[in-house]
Amino acid sequence: MGLAEFTGLTPSGYEERTIERVSRHHRWDVDREAWSDCTNCGSELRLRDRHLLVTLGPGTDLETDRVHLCDERCLTEWVGIE
């Protein structure tokens, strides 16, 4: 399943929200270690390493509109499809 196919899906627990975009992401611009938690499994992600960035819409709060996930496996679990 390609990343684009997740567009428009609603993750469980996010009833009002839909996935606007999924992209492969890693940050090279950080001068200190930046960490986030995977929204699905809770693993710590070092944002310098490759991971998935999901933008949720519609919304105005940039802080909650972008979530990080480990990989496609966590993304698939998160949206509840097998």
Beta carbon nearer to Zn ion, 36 or 55 = 36
Quote the CA–CA distance of 71 and 8 in Å, as a whole number: 18
Reduced to 3 states (helix: H, G, I; strand: E, B; else coil), residue 73 is: helix
Beta carbon nearer to Zn ion, 43 or 64 = 43
Give the footprint of Zn ion on this chain (CB under 5 A): 38, 40-41, 43, 70, 74
Instruction: Give me the phi and psi of 63, to 5 degrees please.
Output: -65, -40
Output the smallest distance, CB 19 to Zn ion, in A. Answer: 16
Beta carbon nearer to Zn ion, 23 or 43 = 43
Output the smallest distance, CB 76 to Zn ion, in A. Answer: 11
Determine contact, residues 65/31, Cβ cutoff 8 Å: no
Output the smallest distance, CB 78 to Zn ion, in A. Answer: 8
